[in-house]
Structure 1
Amino acid sequence: MSRLKLYLAPGTCALAVHIALHEADAGHELALVNFAASQQRSPEYLAVNPKGRVPALVTEQGVLTETPALLLYVAQLFPAAQLAPLDDLFALARMQECNNYLASTVHINHAHRPRASRWADEPEAIAGMQRKVAQNMTENFRYLEQTYLQNGPWVLGERYSVADGYLYTVGDWLASDGVDIRDFPAVYAHRERVLQRPAVQRALATAQLPKAS
């Protein structure tokens, strides 16, 4: 099997895919994209992903993008790692339900703070969207806690999956959005469990841009 190459920017949702690759013990190359230097808009990166966003995963069949798609791809490519309930259609759909909620609702609500200019040009409109972020993220994580973390230590109960690394990744944005993760005891406990996993520690240790000298 050819080596995979993951394009990742620190602090982004691409970390969830990086965690999945480490959980699967998948040989891969990591390419760090410096958003502060606008590398995501460089011709070199746009040739990889014309969207100018991360993650992007280079495979022997081509480039894949979008976090839920990449998480499922890794889980299917390395079934022995048991990162998705591939033998249970309902549980698999439940995992995808959570992953798509994180991508389509929670991530978008978070993005209204640092990326409000995507949706408006007027300063007053941007400020209004940014003021709403903490409330929206609070509602989102209250829903996540009540829906996915009441029946076991992981999103799928007793079974760890790629959804757990994804939930951890998005939950790590709460502080910057003015929300205290400790307001959600089950989410906070889940975060601490995820952090104890060796694969997660390896992913975190390698997902940092080198410091300027």
Structure 2
Amino acid sequence: MPALTLHLAKGTVALAPHIALNEVGADFDLVWVDFAAKAQTKPDYLAINPKGRVPALMTENGVLTETAAMLNYIAATHPQAALTPDDPWQRAKMEEVFLYLASTVHINHAHKMRGHRWSDDPATYPAMQAKVASNITENAALIESDYLKGPFVLGETFSNADIYLFTIARWFAGDGADMAAFPKLSAFLEMMQARPSVANALAMHT
């Protein structure tokens, strides 16, 4: 039995640890959480992840429930894949991208369909949704200018930052960003889609 089990759902950030597990050649199982049936709110799943969200990664040591933590764990337990740079500055830049994606970009995206997290008044939801396109466009512009130093986030070196960015940036067009305005980011997405670890995971998420 594999030592790792990833609980995931289609259309979510759970794609990132799925790609990372593929990338390192890990032995793992997948457990799909049926969001349509609200399985993430049921006692069985809440016993695994009390947050009621995906992804959740079951390991020999317990459960991890945040994407960045999972990416770091997968890299640390599979060092041969070199998904985390040894250089302290490069590692800090990777973590900077992690934090920006999690604390700013993902939150901006979530306002499109999860206004209930920020307001109990449904009348406020349209205003939140109307702001998504401009917020995401601003995020994409910053990534284009500051966070793509080469073909990859860290220049010529592939890392977990690319896996996380790819997962989040796939949402940008649907969120209203004009991707024609971001040629570097568009080229990055196209390049990543051709990577075997990514293509394999995407085939299961669509």
Q: What SS does the aligned partner of 1:37 have?
A: coil
Aligned amino acid, residue 25 of structure 2: D
Following TM superposition, by how much is the alpha carbon of 1:165 offset from its aligned partner in structure 2, in angstroms? 1.3
Following TM superposition, by how much is the alpha carbon of 1:207 offset from its aligned partner in structure 2, in angstroms? 3.3
State the 4+ residue runs in structure 1 displaced beyond 6 angstroms: none
**What is the aligned partner in structure 1 of residue 49 from structure 2?**
49
Aligned amino acid, residue 67 of structure 2: T
Q: What SS does the aligned partner of 1:34 have?
A: coil
Aligned amino acid, residue 201 of structure 2: A
**C-alpha separation between the residues in 2 aligned to 1:181 and 1:66?**
28
Following TM superposition, by how much is the alpha carbon of 1:194 offset from its aligned partner in structure 2, in angstroms? 0.4
List per-residue Cα deviations over 1:7-52 (Å, max 9, x = no partner). 1111101101100000001110011111111011111110100000
**C-alpha separation between the residues in 1 aligned to 2:31 and 2:180?**
33
Relative to structure 2, which stretch is displaced further, 124-133 or 6-15? 124-133
Q: What SS does the aligned partner of 2:29 have?
A: strand
Asked if the contact 1:6/1:55 (under 8 Å) is kept, the reply is yes
**What is the aligned partner in structure 2 of residue 196 from structure 1?**
194
Please list, as runs of the form range in 1=range in 2, the aligned pairs for 1:8-157 lying within 5 A after superposition. 8-85=8-85, 87-149=86-148, 151-157=149-155
How many residue pairs get aligned? The number is 206
Asked if the contact 1:7/1:33 (under 8 Å) is kept, the reply is yes
Identity fraction in percent? 54
Asked if the contact 1:6/1:58 (under 8 Å) is kept, the reply is yes
**C-alpha separation between the residues in 2 aligned to 1:136 and 1:205?**
29
Following TM superposition, by how much is the alpha carbon of 1:127 offset from its aligned partner in structure 2, in angstroms? 1.2
Q: What SS does the aligned partner of 2:36 have?
A: helix
**What is the aligned partner in structure 2 of residue 211 from structure 1?**
none
List per-residue Cα deviations over 1:126-145 (Å, max 9, x = no partner). 11111101000000110111
**C-alpha separation between the residues in 2 aligned to 1:159 and 1:49?**
33
Following TM superposition, by how much is the alpha carbon of 1:182 offset from its aligned partner in structure 2, in angstroms? 2.6
**What is the aligned partner in structure 1 of residue 163 from structure 2?**
165
**C-alpha separation between the residues in 2 aligned to 1:176 and 1:101?**
20
Q: What SS does the aligned partner of 1:98 have?
A: helix
Segments of 5+ residues of structure 2 without an aligned counterpart are none
**C-alpha separation between the residues in 2 aligned to 1:203 and 1:138?**
26
Across the aligned residues of Structure 1 and Structure 2, the Cα RMSD in angstroms comes to: 1.3
Aligned amino acid, residue 95 of structure 2: Q
Following TM superposition, by how much is the alpha carbon of 1:124 offset from its aligned partner in structure 2, in angstroms? 3.1
List per-residue Cα deviations over 1:111-161 (Å, max 9, x = no partner). 011101111122332111111010000001101111111x31000000001
Asked if the contact 1:171/1:181 (under 8 Å) is kept, the reply is no
